[in-house]
Amino acid sequence: MFDSIHEECGVFGIYEIKASDVAASVYFGLYALQHRGQESCGITVCDDGIFRHKRADGLVSEVFSREELDKLGSGNMAVGHVRYSTTGGHNHNNIQPLVIRHIKGNMALVHNGNLVNAAELRRSFEMSGAIFHGTSDTEAIAYEIVRERLSSNSTEEAVEKAMPRLKGAYSCIVMTATKLIAFRDPDGFRPLCIGRTSDGAYVVASESCALETVGAEFLRDIEPGEIVTIGQEGMQSISTNCTNKRNICIFEYIYFARPDSVIDSISVHHARLKAGELLAKSSPVEADIVIGVPDSGLDAALGYANESGIPYGIGFIKNKYIGRSFIQPEQHQRENAVKIKLNAVRESVVGKRVIMIDDSIVRGTTSARIVRLLREAGAKEVHVRISSPPFLHTCHFGTDIDSEENLIAGKCSSTEEIAKYIGADSLGYLPVECLGELVDNRFGYCKGCFTGDYPVDISGAGSKNKFDEKIHR
């Protein structure tokens, strides 16, 4: 019904000094990370070296009742994961945490991101007799670590040796019988941070908003290339794979992350306000009201209004209660069904010249429907402003940005043509040169889906469902 973009995963882990209800802590953390993946989730608890886990399709609140959490029992460590399945497709064996029993012990792994050389790694393992259960690239990461573990003194040493062979995006947490090991790829595509509770528990999460749900205070981000080990001796860091580069996904700030998160010392809310301000400077237009498309367009709309002096208003109400069980409408029902999820506030827009801010346009069909909602509600003019540059290329690092032939900006020859397609009176995008200002020009970032210039070589990346294709042949 909506051609929106999805982040593929969120990860969460906790290390307590004494055994406690760690499953519940992970539940709350995953709840805060639900926006990063809504199709499946899982939790693995470590209780004195024994692993218990539950993984299933559904939202965190659908999969885990109090009874289910009780079945996981108490422990001093746990990891959890929320997933949106694109790469690797929808397959029960792809639901994380991935639990591996190898010759030196147990290991649970959660991963956010995508490797660009996963197919190559997998093929080399398969040629030496390895059997893969799922189709996600997370299994290839697990095999690399386990292979190195055989000749290493510790799992963190195995991770350190495996990392140079993993190309692409990976923010991971590994849980062994005695410690948590969190690591982030040397480009730092996806976020990963650490917090601490007042009673001494360490928490690792994809976003800082999840730390607060378990009463943890933000300590710091895990640096690109860094390995952080949390065990009985406290927290230790290995930085041999760190470089000076940083290429965080700029779209985390524009759309994926929650506005109350802070990533690599930059507030997501601040970045979105800034995007709106820059958009007001680069694409001004006379109008009566600025509105945002919920949720990620709201902060940018406020920024646009602040900069332009045009009043900010509430233009839409979003129904937040559409879960997985919502019956997908037939084609002929879609125009009305869109209003179940999003509806215009007539009193705000009737008879007015409206500036509507959204985070992106993918295929253009959703934008066209939303513009139509405003016109039906009586808007006199609709000027669309987008808080990112046009999508021209796919993403290989853990999101489902569509293949190039489906992106409207690639199909149309001008911004005016896209404006006409979506039924807007005018259209303006954030210029690509402005992206650095969202992070106060403090560090490098990935902008590959806007420019085609990716921070790592993507020649081995292949298609989104590379493993499924192979299996179906």
The smaller minimum CB distance to ligand SF4, of residues 67 and 405, is found at: 405
Dihedral in degrees, nearest 10, Cα atoms 123, 40, 327, 321: -140
Interface region with ligand SF4, contact rule CB under 6 A, candidates 83-91, 261-269, 293-301, 394-402: 394-402
Of 188 and 313, which CB lies nearer to ligand SF4 in the complex structure? 188
Window 342-381: contact mask with ligand SF4 (x via CB under 6 A): ----------------------------------------
Please give the full DSSP string across 369-392, using - where no structure is assigned.
HHHHHHHHTT-SEEEEEESSPPP-
Q: Select from 35, 79, 89 the least CA-distant residue to 59.
A: 35
246 binds ligand SF4 (CB under 6 A): no
H/E segment holding residue 75: strand 75-83
251 binds ligand SF4 (CB under 6 A): yes
Distance CA 246, CA 243 (A): 8
Q: How far apart are CA 465 and CA 269, in angstroms?
A: 33
- Among residues 249, 262, 338, 355, the one that binds ligand SF4 under rule CB under 6 A: 249
Q: Which of 43, 172, 194, 446 binds ligand SF4 (CB under 6 A)?
A: 446
Q: How far is the CB of 117 from ligand SF4 (least distance, A)?
A: 16
Q: Which of 99, 108, 203, 250 binds ligand SF4 (CB under 6 A)?
A: 250
Q: Smaller CB distance to ligand SF4: residue 427 or 435? A: 435
Whether the Cβ atoms of residue 353 and residue 290 lie closer than 8 Å to each other: no
9 is known as an active-site residue:
yes
Residue 399 interacts with ligand SF4 (CB under 6 A): yes or no:
yes
Task: Write the CA distances from 135 to 9, 89, 176, 210, 327, integer angstroms.
Answer: 15, 7, 23, 28, 28
Furthest-apart CA atoms within the chain: distance in Å: 72
C-alpha distance from residue 28 to each of 32, 295, 357, 400, 409 (Å): 7, 21, 31, 26, 39
- Only one of the segments 95-103, 248-256, 265-273, 348-356 lies at the binding site for ligand SF4 (rule: CB under 6 A); that segment is 248-256
Q: Is 358 annotated as a binding residue?
A: yes
Q: How far is the CB of 450 from ligand SF4 (least distance, A)?
A: 7
Cβ–Cβ under 8 Å, residues 108 and 99: yes
Q: CA–CA separation, 116 vs 222, rounded Å?
A: 22
State yes or no: 296 annotated in a binding site: yes
395 counts as binding ligand SF4 under rule CB under 6 A: yes
Report how far residue 409's alpha carbon sits from residue 432's, in angstroms, rounded to the nearest whole number.
14
Pattern 302-321, ligand SF4, x by CB under 6 A: --------------------
Per-residue b or e along 156-188, where b marks 16 or more CB atoms closer than 10 Å to that residue's CB: bbbbbbbbebbbbbbbbbbbbbbbbbbbbbbbb
166-205 footprint of ligand SF4 as x/- string (CB under 6 A): -----------------------x----------------
Contact 157, 151 (CB under 8 A): no
By CB under 6 A, residue 84 contacts ligand SF4: no
Decide if 282 contacts 431 (C-beta within 8 A). Answer: yes
Do the annotations mark residue 359 as ligand-binding? yes
Residue 193 assigned as binding residue: no
Binding residues: 249, 296, 358-359, 395, 446, 449
Q: Catalytic site residues? A: 9
Binding residues for Mg(2+): 296, 358-359
Which positions touch ligand SF4 (CB under 6 A)?
189, 249-251, 395, 397, 399, 401, 446-449
